[in-house]
Structure 1
């Protein structure tokens, strides 16, 4: 009796796994916006230190390498789900860093590869190696996934100032001695303008 049961469970797992794999969109085909919301592709789940990035050549999410080893942030784990706004590119010719626009989604941890609709509540502007690096700060559009109740920067700054300062401190210190300079915070309208500015043609 055990063999058929194991066989059935294995079959169910394989069917379930293949369904999940086939329904996951290719991040390169996902639009920056969907209806009234932005879309975010999550590379690094909240609560991990592994520097995971989407590899456009292999179309896989891979741990970034440093001297032949997985790159792990030598600091506190990421305070939110970190990734990028798809279909954006911060052109170096226009003052960008050559990557997609970064996003930090404040919610419980979600798996790498998750594509979620989000509401921007602000933008944190950093100076990293003499380049301006903008981080969109967002919450999930789905109320069931929200851990804070702030849909604009003013509410975020007033009700969750401690959270805002934690995010600021984290980005300022996670690279250690390299140091990242905080330039300023901007509101949700600025965040939306940044997405429009860096959308791919």
Structure 2
């Protein structure tokens, strides 16, 4: 309840709606926007919602990380960084080929051109999972995508080399590029191929990352099978 003995200015009077107490200020041209004051229970409730979302994301990543690398004719991919974002998150263990943790919280360059993450239940060396870049529209952080490898980016950084699997969603309507094989990229979308190579080098130029070249989907499948952990 509002105190009855409070003296309000002539241009200001109290109102109460639901769980929010606010004041409307009367100006020359009518009423201005209300100045809301949120009560503490509502504030703590919002904090609780954010914390629950973070916990749910962590749990989904843990569940996705336990999925097999290969299931039939498709590969699983756990998304760490959604397409179109610069926020860096690394859930995979070990020293990754792309130095995400060294760059801090944000990538100091253009956003990721695809959903970046890793293939679960794989070991590409040093306990780190196999990196993957999925060419599709953005999906939530921690999501599990079912993909088909279409190529490989061979890269090197500070004396050691590795690979980034380039894949597209199994469901064709979700693909950024309507391709299913590496040859289709080279013939119909060569500018996109050059763009991905250049973006990768420029985004991690401070970490001395270099693109050595592209390989086809046959090499991609071979790398996934070699890195897959026995179940």
Interval containing the TM-score (normalised by the shorter chain): 0.7 to 0.9
In the alignment, structure 1 residue 141 sits paired with structure 2 residue 175: no
Which residue in the other structure is 1:185 paired with? Answer: 214
Q: 1:167 maps to what in 2? A: 196
In structure 2, what is the Cα distance between the partners aligned to 1:55 and 1:186? 24
* CA distance 1:171–1:131, change in 2 (3 Å): same
1:37 and 2:71 correspond: no
Asked if 1:111 corresponds to 2:140, the answer is yes
Structure 2 gap ranges (5+) = 1-17, 20-44, 94-99
Q: For the residues of structure 2 that align with 1:197 and 1:105, how far apart are their CA atoms? A: 20
Contact preservation (8 Å) 1:173, 1:179? no
TM-score between the two structures when normalised by the length of structure 1: 0.78
Q: In structure 2, what is the Cα distance between the partners aligned to 1:190 and 1:161? A: 19
1:15-54 correspondence to structure 2 within 5 Å: 21=56, 24=60, 26-54=63-91
In structure 2, the residue matched to 1:6 is: none
Contact 2:90/2:101, CA 8 A, preserved across alignment:
no
Shift of the 126–193 alpha-carbon distance from structure 1 to 2, 3 Å rule, reads same
Alpha-carbon distance change, 107 to 182 in structure 1, aligned in 2, over 3 angstroms:
same
1:129 aligns with 2:166: no
Question: Does the CA contact (< 8 Å) of 2:83 and 2:115 recur in 1?
Answer: yes
**CA positional deviation for 1:65:** 5.5
TM-score of the aligned structures, taking structure 2 as reference length: 0.68
CA distance in 1, matches of 2:206, 2:116: 22
Q: Give the whole-Å Cα distance in 1 for the aligned partners of 2:187 and 2:178.
A: 12
Q: How many residues align?
A: 177
> Greater relative contact order: 1 or 2 (C-alpha under 8 angstroms, separation 6 or more)?
1
**1:132–1:158 distance in 2 versus 1, CA, 3 Å:** same
- Between structure 1 and structure 2, the one with the greater Rg is 2
